[in-house]
Structure 1
């Protein structure tokens, strides 16, 4: 397997006002988690974050909004942000993550500079009603299908540690494989006292086995370890690459803090890994 690792950064551009009841998510207004909440991050700030991500050798930059899906106001805002980033930052794979979307909305995003769309399945179809009741799993799957229809690159993954069974984990990975995504974010549940979910932080060895399983089931697709890396693997996160991951999120996540990107650079260098220079780097 290649020793090259892809880096991606996240910009939370609209935070903490989601009306859905996803039990794992601090952005739901139903649970009152103590997070920063705002509707629109200033465009200039988003552009500066993109420049910083590029300087830190990220090849992916994701514009994330809170909420079930895209309404007209959100669509205009994401398009404006995407155009501003593309004007100021070259050679950055621009990703949108804005919930459920139809083909017309996705084509509009593509026309305004979005390269990829991220929409996670989160878990298996069977287990999904245990973690969310305000919308269904099939809507998520259909959004992923819509992404492929309009020619955007698809980024879809899920979360381990929500209380799901091994059968649920395998079912989710099978569903992901059927969509043939370019990139698969693997998240590990990060508990929060405000959330009702009786999930747990996976033991590190169990988490590594799930990465190995994902690699075996997903072939040569990019596997990105995202949320929960810090609490699950600590200073032994280099082991995720031995297990089959070949991408990570650097910097902070949506509502939780990540490691210092320079620390991640040093970790990769110490263990003999090279930072990928582009999406096509092998």
Structure 2
């Protein structure tokens, strides 16, 4: 049995959906690919607080406020800050994460001052392979945002997506780049194909996914959160114990940005059946 007896749960809230102008070939939120997803402008603050309350009741310690789009602007910063303040005022002991694209130090400082604890910005793939999956912005902008996060004292959450046609050298380079940032948490996503997207198939197997988890744990150390996020249901259903044995100690519960996840109670039943506990405090890491 893995030494990580407690599993940390995180929930995602897509508070601005399907409005992105970028051309990331893995993302249904891009308007360029006309994927059949729900698209909407900002959710109400009341709805966000209500969904945060439910996430906490389901065992989530982390709650991520996600917006579509390349990065932050004045309107987006203001809305995320107001949403964060409202959640903090109504839901206790919830680690608030913002995931809003590229961001300056000034924008990140403002979010921190209004209740955001952590900022998620994924590197997605290696610097070498990035131009194959996105041409409207550079990989270096992603890395710079991650550096900005750390410089203002926010906790950094940064990971990537595997199975988008990359080579093994790209997977190694991505994990090395993530480790160079020393993030507090790292989400590992496994590509979920959609008929509307240019990347049609997923080139990753179950053993390869396990090796990525093992490699990430070795690079990041034992005291960090290593989360299996998007694509978990495609690769690890009924094989969850293997991902925890490989080094994962966190996972996303509920729905993802534009794809459905399992019901949180099913995940909690799975954890209990494997002898794991749901973590109740980040201090137990």
Q: TM bucket by the smaller chain?
A: over 0.9
CA displacement at 1:199 relative to structure 2: 4.0
Residue 260 (1) aligns with residue 263 (2): yes
How many residue pairs are counted as aligned between the two chains?
Answer: 282
Structure 2 segments unaligned to the other structure (5+ residues): none
Give the equivalent residue in structure 2 for 1:154: 156
Q: Choose the corresponding residue for 1:169, options 160, 168, 171.
A: 171
Residue 208 (1) aligns with residue 184 (2): no
Give the stretch that moved more between structures: 56-65 or 198-207: 198-207
Q: Choose the corresponding residue for 1:234, options 232, 237, 259.
A: 237
RMSD: 0.9
Is the 8 Å Cα contact of residues 191 and 201 (structure 1) preserved in structure 2? no
CA displacement at 1:238 relative to structure 2: 2.6
Q: Choose the corresponding residue for 2:31, options 15, 29, 32.
A: 29
Structure 1 segments unaligned to the other structure (5+ residues): none
CA distance in 1, matches of 2:242, 2:265: 18
CA displacement at 1:258 relative to structure 2: 0.4
CA distance in 2, matches of 1:201, 1:275: 32
Give the equivalent residue in structure 2 for 1:20: 22
CA displacement at 1:235 relative to structure 2: 2.0
Q: Spell out structure 1 runs of 4+ moving beyond 2 A.
A: none
Partner-residue secondary structure (3-state), 1:224: strand
CA displacement at 1:14 relative to structure 2: 0.1
Q: Choose the corresponding residue for 1:68, options 50, 67, 70.
A: 70
TM-score, normalized by length of structure 1? 0.98
Q: Choose the corresponding residue for 2:227, options 204, 216, 224.
A: 224
Is the 8 Å Cα contact of residues 15 and 65 (structure 1) preserved in structure 2? yes
TM-score, normalized by length of structure 2? 0.97
Residue 277 (1) aligns with residue 273 (2): no
